[in-house]
Amino acid sequence: METIRLLFLTILFRPYVFVFIAIYLYTAARTIGPRKAVLFTIIAWAVAYFSEFSSVRNGFPFGLYYYIPSTKNKELWVMGVPFMDSLSFTFLSYSSWRTARVFLPREDKFSWKIILLGAFLMTLLDVVIDPLALRGDRWFLGRIYYYPSPGPYFGVTIENFAGWFFVGALTMRIWKAVDGIVGGQDLSNKTGMLGPALYFIVLLFNLSMTFWIGEIKLGLTGVVLFLPVTAVFLAKVKNSAIFEKNYS
């Protein structure tokens, strides 16, 4: 009962996260089917959770950092890791993978190019997300973690970004194996833009919050980094023939 109570409090305490999760679940169910959406969610959460569980103890793969247990009575924690944090990797990894497919329409959906690009796109999101999260005491996230040795990128360590790339690539590689066992095609070639749309919604939310707390330099850095990515993405989307071939 206590777990259920804390899960309910987590939803009330972090409603913006669960809005993203709801969008993700709808998107994934419409695109790859409800059963695969559930499987992807389990895989992405498990990889992220055990990576965070490891990192706060021995520094792998995100580098060493510590969660601040000030919200343990307000939200669900699982053996020292906030449930909300690892659950967020579900929509981050899924939307990054689907976005990578738009960038590389001629590649197989699980080629190494797609997996590595998807991991890169997820890491690029974190270039905006993690510095903002580190400043959570200045917005409604709250101060949830810290690095014992602050890193060079607005306080974030390089190991953290390497860890995000590793987790993204591992999640997509495991999903490739599971998808091969489950089989089946995407449900519709008309839903291929739902994942990328979620990717850019998450980006806009985090950039908006960055500017809202007055971190102008950090916000402008994120804008500059994503301008070429967005331009190439829009150019790909405009080519409807390529898009249809990718999701047919």
Domain boundaries, the chain: 2-246
Would you put residue 142 in left (φ > 0), alpha (ψ -120 to 50) or beta? left
pLDDT in tens, the chain (248 residues): 788 888 888 888 899 999 999 999 999 999 999 999 999 999 999 999 999 999 999 999 999 999 999 888 889 999 999 999 999 999 999 999 999 999 998 899 999 999 999 999 999 999 999 999 999 999 999 999 999 999 999 999 999 999 999 999 999 999 999 998 987 777 666 667 899 999 999 999 999 999 999 999 999 999 999 999 999 999 988 875 544 554 44
pLDDT score, position 103? 94
Question: What's the confidence (pLDDT) of residue 243?
Answer: 47
What was the pLDDT predicted at 6? Answer: 87
pLDDT of residue 202: 98
Q: Give the pLDDT confidence score for residue 218 in this predicted structure.
A: 98
Predicted confidence at residue 4, as pLDDT, reads 87
At 115 the pLDDT is 97
